[in-house]
Structure 1
Amino acid sequence: MHPAPSPEAREVARAAARWLAMMEFNADEFDHAGLKRWRESHSAHEAAWEKAQRLRQRFCGVPPSLGMATLDRPALARRAVLKRTLGVATLVPTAWLLGQQLPLDVWRADLHTTTGEHKRWSLADGSTLHLNTDSAVDLDIKARRLVLLRGEMALKVVGASALTIQAPYGLITVSRGEACVRLGERDCRVSVVSGSVQLQPLRGPRLTLGEGQQVKLQVTGAGSVDTFDVAQLGWRDGVLVAQNQSLGDFLRELGRYRPGVLRWDEALESLRVTGSFRLENTDRILALLSATLALDVQTRTRYWVTLTLRKNIA
């Protein structure tokens, strides 16, 4: 049996699959430049892209009988058949990549959310669980343990007995308090909203976090303890908050709540954003950004949006 892929490997595979699909559907020079930067930014990215290309080659062959059959069809019919064939050739390896890197335990999780969705559950002991966008959790009631498989969760414990969150980089025990845990590509960020939380990293000593503190757990152990702004957890109320944040960072966060591709010119990275934005309509957020900043929103489809620097009109 193959070991379960790490969260980092899953994220890289998802990115490779998205790039693969993008390259197949009218990619422009901007797309190719973005892919080049992504591949060169990390050796794991290049390895994943090569794997995606090998899979693409395996599935892209068109059977001769199908090719001959299309020659006898009218032009429009030929294009339709070839489009469907090429679509299958692209989607099969993309789905295979995602299926290999996103194991069934994510899809079969006890509780989960889709992209752009956040949910709240009341547990039997009165505790409250929130799941952010694209997240999954398994429950082990007898062991009073929650297993965070993907994404981000907030847990508020009110009962006498503690609850433990199992994450890829350690255990987080919450007792009469509230904590938020977010899985990243290479770490797990733990933030304490109230009370105190006990952490047991995979490596290193146990430590205690108090209200207003956060730390990142990694394969090598716990990082330094920092303070955090509770506004970062506005997603529990369906709000994305920015306080003089770079537009690039804001858009990367916003992209977690949108299906499809969200791209932007490099020149937009350093613009600043301040405000509270309701997450139930991310298209409206983009419209607000366009109305207040020097950018234009170009929409190919609902799932393919590009932001460009607005040109001065004399």
Structure 2
Amino acid sequence: MSALHPAPGQAAAPAASTTPISEQAALQAAEWFFLLQAGDASAQDRARWQQWLAADPVHAAAWHKAERLAGQMAQLPPSLAMAALDRPAAQRRQAIRGLAALLVAAPVGWMAWRHSEQAGWLADYRTATGEQRALVLADGSQLQLDTATAIDVRYDSALRLIRVQQGAIHVQTAADPVVPARPLVVATPQGRLRALGTRFTVRVQGDATAVAVLEGAVEMQPTQTGSSPVVLQAGQQAQLHADSASAIEALAPQADSWTRGVLHVRNMRLADFAAELGRYRSGLLRCDPAVAELRLSGSFQLRDTTPVLDSLPDLLPVHVVYRSRYWVTLVPAGAS
């Protein structure tokens, strides 16, 4: 794929530009990208593109991000591949909006997508975005995988090991039929969790692992050597880091509500709510800073997030803007 560059004399955006990209600029960059890559753009089209590129530094930043993503086109979602150029108009518009969403989300959203895809395909068991899955392991222990979760399971003569690469799981341990009994351990990038006859949840969140104990107890051991283990009892929760564990807290109400397909929130910031709901929804769900601090309480069904979004204007002074099914923004009521 050939790269398209500014005309001589025009300033090129830096390779790692930190210029914020607006939704409008992202959409325009995506439209120009697909038009020019189609190979049949006229000289007039190219002149108009050059004018657009030079008109605003944000345009240049959006364009250069599009080119950087194009350089990794083999790893883009199939819906954004160059085959989109030959699709019907409606599908092409969807591809344009999808690319624009990646431009707004990049680099964090793009890197998260790549990590999710790579980890998911290599895992023993995985779930897609919005999917939940129940498993019964060889010893009778039961797992429930949350949205976008990837795990490996390794049982041998000495250990029952569950490795969480990403996402969240609910664990209901069973007595080991092997004698002597093997410990059941859940490993994450931050450390190891040894089940002490228990029911608990584990969620990998960036550089921390959230652990909530519903029954029994769990021993948490950080990855770094020399760190002291911490035991959580039923009704307690904590964050595990590679070098330590956070202070133990009382278990949050409805901490396992996701296992029943429900998101239960109490006085949650709208920005945090959007981030949490977005885990169960394909695409990009953004919250305008103007409404980020609004507070929300209630219980919301996770199996279909669109009705949840559509109900928000009845609960808060917000408007839900659908750029496409996969690009949604929460903005102040009356805005567009």
Deviation at 1:59, TM superposition (A): 7.0
Higher Cα radius of gyration: 2
- Which residue of 187, 207, 210 maps to 1:186? 207
Cross-structure match for 1:25: 27
Distance 1:97 1:307, change over 3 A: closer
Contact 1:113–1:132, Cα closer than 8 Å, also in 2: yes
For the residue of structure 2 that corresponds to 1:221, the secondary structure is: coil
- Which residue of 135, 149, 155 maps to 1:121? 135
Give, as a single letter, the amino acid of the residue that structure 2 aligns with 1:55.
R
Give, as a single letter, the amino acid of the residue that structure 2 aligns with 1:26.
Q
Listed as ranges, the matches of 1:138-157 within 5 Å are 138-142=152-156, 143-157=159-173
Give, as a single letter, the amino acid of the residue that structure 1 aligns with 2:143.
L
Cross-structure match for 1:265: 288
Deviation at 1:220, TM superposition (A): 2.4
Cross-structure match for 1:111: 125
Is residue 2:223 matched to residue 1:210?
no
Cross-structure match for 1:219: 242
- Which residue of 155, 159, 163 maps to 2:184? 163
Give, as a single letter, the amino acid of the residue that structure 2 aligns with 1:140.
R
Aligned residues: 253
1:196 and 1:265 mapped to 2: Cα distance? 41
Deviation at 1:287, TM superposition (A): 1.2
Residues 250-290 of structure 1 deviation map (CA, whole Å, 9 limit, x = unaligned) = 11111111111112221212222111111111000011112
Cross-structure match for 1:290: 313
Contact 1:20–1:52, Cα closer than 8 Å, also in 2: no
For the residue of structure 1 that corresponds to 2:255, the secondary structure is: helix
Is residue 2:68 matched to residue 1:55?
yes
Cross-structure match for 1:8: none
Distance 1:232 1:99, change over 3 A: closer
TM-score by length of 1: 0.69
Q: Which runs of 4+ in 1 moved over 4 A?
A: 19-24, 51-54, 56-60, 93-105
Give, as a single letter, the amino acid of the residue that structure 2 aligns with 1:144.
R
Higher helix share: 1
Give, as a single letter, the amino acid of the residue that structure 2 aligns with 1:220.
D
Contact 1:121–1:129, Cα closer than 8 Å, also in 2: yes
Give, as a single letter, the amino acid of the residue that structure 2 aligns with 1:272.
R
TM-score by length of 2: 0.65
Distance 1:221 1:22, change over 3 A: farther
Contact 1:169–1:217, Cα closer than 8 Å, also in 2: yes
Listed as ranges, the matches of 1:71-82 within 5 Å are none
- Which residue of 136, 143, 150 maps to 2:150? 136
Listed as ranges, the matches of 1:275-286 within 5 Å are 275-286=298-309
Cross-structure match for 1:66: none
Distance 1:172 1:241, change over 3 A: same
1:190 and 1:145 mapped to 2: Cα distance? 17
Residues 39-90 of structure 1 deviation map (CA, whole Å, 9 limit, x = unaligned) = xxxxxxxxxx9x9678358579xxxxxxxxxxxxxxx99xx9xx89x97xx7
Listed as ranges, the matches of 1:93-104 within 5 Å are 101=115, 104=118
Deviation at 1:20, TM superposition (A): 11
1:118 and 1:57 mapped to 2: Cα distance? 32
Cross-structure match for 2:9: none
Cross-structure match for 2:220: 199
> Percent of pairs identical after alignment?
31
Residue ranges of structure 2 left out of the alignment (5+ in a row): 1-17, 31-61, 74-84
Distance 1:27 1:159, change over 3 A: farther
Deviation at 1:179, TM superposition (A): 1.5
